[in-house]
Every structure is written in structure tokens, then in C-alpha cells.
Amino acid sequence: MKLDASAPEMRRVYLLSKDLEANPGQVERARALTLNRSKPRLGLRGVHGLFASDEWWNSINTGKMRLRFVSGIVAEAYEAGQDRTGVNNAVTVKLDDASTTSVGIYTNDPRDVRLFRTGSKVSIVYAQDELKDQPAPDGDVNYAEIALEMLVGAATNAA
């Protein structure tokens, strides 16, 4: 879709479109919240079309919707959040400029979580869709970041 999975060392482990095929109720719930006028601060604004509609995907594919790309090397894989499942669901990624950022682990097959380990290459692209609740605390536009695609590669020596 948006990331280059042609490199033999990279494996596509997540596609939102595949996730939505397996969980169609997610689309209906997101759309219902967008259309619910009694909840003016919850959900997406729908500026780029209803979630996962042809218009929404077109906004992504034509560059009308902002995208955020994160690529780097996994510095740490860990379990984030309050619910303890014993499964890593996030990674700290060391970026090219030596800074770090945290991202969630997204997979269409839960067995692929094992691929996310220290030294692994990782790339993810997010759609930044505007939320109804505006502005963001910093006064900028408030976005929901929706993972579109994630790739992971073999561990390297640079972590």
C-alpha cells in the first residue's frame, strides 16, 4: 500500500484492510460514532469520508489525508497498558536521527508478534484522520492515528 515491502528482509505483518475484513463491526461502529450528533466530541469528523469508505481510502491514496511514517530499529519490545496479557504489544523504535518513539505492534496474525524483538527493523504508516474534538491541547488539529500497514524485518546488530 504505502510501505515498500519489496525488500526481501522486510515482511508485511499488518494491513488495516485485512483487519477490517476480519472485523467488519469495527467499520460500522466508527461510522456510527462519526454520524452521532449527540456525541459532538467523540469519533472522527468525517472530513475525508466515513471511515473505510471508498472516499476515505481515496483520500489516503491521493494524499489528501495526512500520513505519518515511522521507520527504524526496535530498541525494546514490551507490554504496554494496564491489562496484562503477557504478550508484547508495543515497541520503542530508534529512528535514523537517534531519537526514539513508541509505537504499537499491529499484526493480522498474532503469531507474528514474536518477530518484534530488539534489533528488528520496523516500519509503520498511520493515517491521521481529524477527530471531532478540536483543537488538540497544543492548539493544533487533533488527529486519530490509524495504523494502515506495518512491516518488520530481521534483527540487525544495530539496536
pTM for the whole thing? 0.90
Closest CA to 20 of 150, 151, 147, 152: 147
Could you give the CA distance from residue 77 to residue 127 in angstroms, rounded to a whole number?
23
What are the structural domain ranges in the chain?
Answer: 10-155
Could you give the CA distance from residue 109 to residue 95 in angstroms, rounded to a whole number?
26
Query: Strand 10-15 to strand 143-155: parallel, antiparallel, or no bridges (unpaired)?
Result: antiparallel
120, 151 contact by CB (below 8 A): no
Backbone angles phi, psi at 61, to 5 degrees: -70, -25
Could you give the CA distance from residue 20 to residue 18 in angstroms, rounded to a whole number?
5
Q: Give the pLDDT confidence score for residue 140 in this predicted structure.
A: 95
Could you give the CA distance from residue 107 to residue 113 in angstroms, rounded to a whole number?
7
**pLDDT values of the chain reduced to their tens digit, one per residue, 159 residues:** 567 666 668 999 999 999 999 999 999 999 999 999 999 999 999 999 999 999 999 999 999 999 999 999 999 999 998 888 889 999 999 999 999 999 999 999 999 999 999 999 999 999 999 999 999 999 999 999 999 999 999 876 554
